[in-house]
């Protein structure tokens, strides 16, 4: 009898110990799970947003544009959920207009939007077809509509991005640009779920462009404004470009470039300043100047090849 009780107690103790070990393991798993970043969670329902945010974080400035992209994501996502739950949902029209000077990141953002909508299964491909007036406007009656339809066909499942779109309205009554606008407007409605149209250009010109066709403004629910970069942001862009190309601006060269940006460009208030493109052009010129300068150096060292000096920085 005593032996039986002893064995029973031992079994009970063993079972209790197993339960404690199991509880401890579960607590360790929960603790470890709580430290896993949502960015790497395989079940993250907002993975497309996280991916886009990671790419946006690499871009200098554009805070309002970045915020607007998050709002667009939220709008599309919630609209999808409302449909799934048989609630009234908005008729989803995602055509956009980008206003801003050259070199402010408009094309880069258009590509990100294409990738985002592909991840969200809004677009089947998410590719970007980038065109301008010459790609759309034909040389005779009917030619423009044919060219426009062909470009829209190529953009199916992706984005048709028209840079300097306001130029379609130039040329007067006999110009075929108006025919391109009419064809675009018709296809925006008839094929609104098959492609996304993004019109881009200078802010003032794009605002005037919207007045030419009474129904044009209402067809672009999302209008994003791309401001010029500040001098500090342009210097950040310069450092990023140098890093990508494995060059380093000396302290004096960096100061010279920043002085130029702060004192010359903004005091002159250039209307159509090319922003990041302007910086890229200066650095590409600096690299060529450095290469020419180094031809006279007999025993080249790694530092010679890395550093861009003040004499390499020119903007004229």
Q: What is the pLDDT of residues 218-245, one digit of tens each?
A: 889 999 999 999 999 999 999 999 999 9
Inform me whether the pLDDT recorded for 20 exceeds 80: no
Helix (H, G, I), strand (E, B) or coil at 34: helix
**How far, in Å, CA of 39 to CA of 54, rounded?**
9
CA neighbours closer than 13 Å in the CB half-sphere of residue 139: 0
Q: Tokens for 259, please give them.
A: 């002085």
pTM: 0.78
Domain positions in the chain: 2-35, 47-226, 231-312
Among residues 188, 134, 124, the alpha carbon closest in space to that of 156 is found at: 124
Report the pLDDT value the prediction gives residue 28, as an integer from 0 to 100: 55
Query: Would you say domain 231-312 falls under CATH 3.30.2270.10?
Result: no
Report the pLDDT value the prediction gives residue 169, as an integer from 0 to 100: 80
Given the structure tokens 């000096």, which residue do they identify? 309
pLDDT digits (tens, 9 = 90+) for 145-175: 889 999 999 999 999 999 999 988 876 666 6
- The domains spanning 47-226 and 231-312 adopt the same CATH topology: no
CATH architecture observed for domain 47-226: 3-Layer(aba) Sandwich (3.40)
Cα dist. 48→42, 55, 113, 114, 222 in Å?
12, 11, 11, 11, 20
CA neighbours closer than 13 Å in the CB half-sphere of residue 191: 20
**How far, in Å, CA of 138 to CA of 145, rounded?**
8
Check: CB of residue 138 under 8 Å from CB of residue 176.
yes
């Amino acid at each position: 009898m005593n032996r039986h009780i002893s064995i029973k107690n031992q079994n009970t103790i063993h079972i209790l110990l197993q339960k404690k070990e199991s509880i401890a393991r579960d607590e360790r798993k929960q603790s470890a799970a709580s430290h896993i970043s949502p960015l790497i969670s395989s079940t993250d329902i907002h993975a497309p947003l996280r991916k886009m945010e990671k790419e946006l974080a690499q871009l200098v400035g554009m805070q309002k544009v970045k915020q607007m992209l998050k709002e667009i994501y939220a709008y599309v996502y919630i609209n999808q959920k409302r449909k799934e739950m048989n609630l009234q949902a908005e008729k989803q029209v995602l055509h956009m207009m980008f206003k801003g000077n050259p070199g402010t990141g408009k094309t880069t953002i258009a590509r990100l939007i294409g990738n985002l909508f592909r991840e969200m299964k809004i677009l089947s491909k998410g590719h970007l077809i980038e065109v301008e007036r010459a790609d759309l406007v034909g040389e005779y009656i009917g030619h423009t509509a044919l060219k426009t339809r062909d470009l829209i066909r190529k953009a199916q499942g992706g984005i048709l991005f028209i840079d300097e779109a306001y130029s379609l309205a130039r040329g007067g009554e006999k110009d075929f640009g108006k025919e391109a606008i009419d064809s675009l407007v018709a296809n925006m409605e008839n094929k609104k779920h098959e492609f996304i149209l993004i019109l881009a250009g200078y802010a003032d010109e794009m605002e005037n462009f919207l007045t030419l066709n009474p129904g044009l403004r209402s067809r672009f629910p999302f209008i994003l404004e791309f401001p010029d970069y500040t001098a500090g942001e342009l210097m950040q862009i310069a450092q990023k470009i140098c890093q990508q190309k494995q060059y380093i601006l000396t302290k004096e060269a960096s100061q010279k470039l920043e002085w130029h940006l702060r004192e010359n460009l903004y005091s002159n208030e250039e209307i159509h300043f090319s922003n990041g493109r302007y910086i890229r052009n200066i650095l590409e010129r600096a690299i060529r100047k450095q290469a020419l300068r180094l031809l006279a150096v007999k025993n080249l060292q790694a530092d010679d090849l890395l550093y861009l000096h003040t004499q390499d920085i020119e903007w004229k």
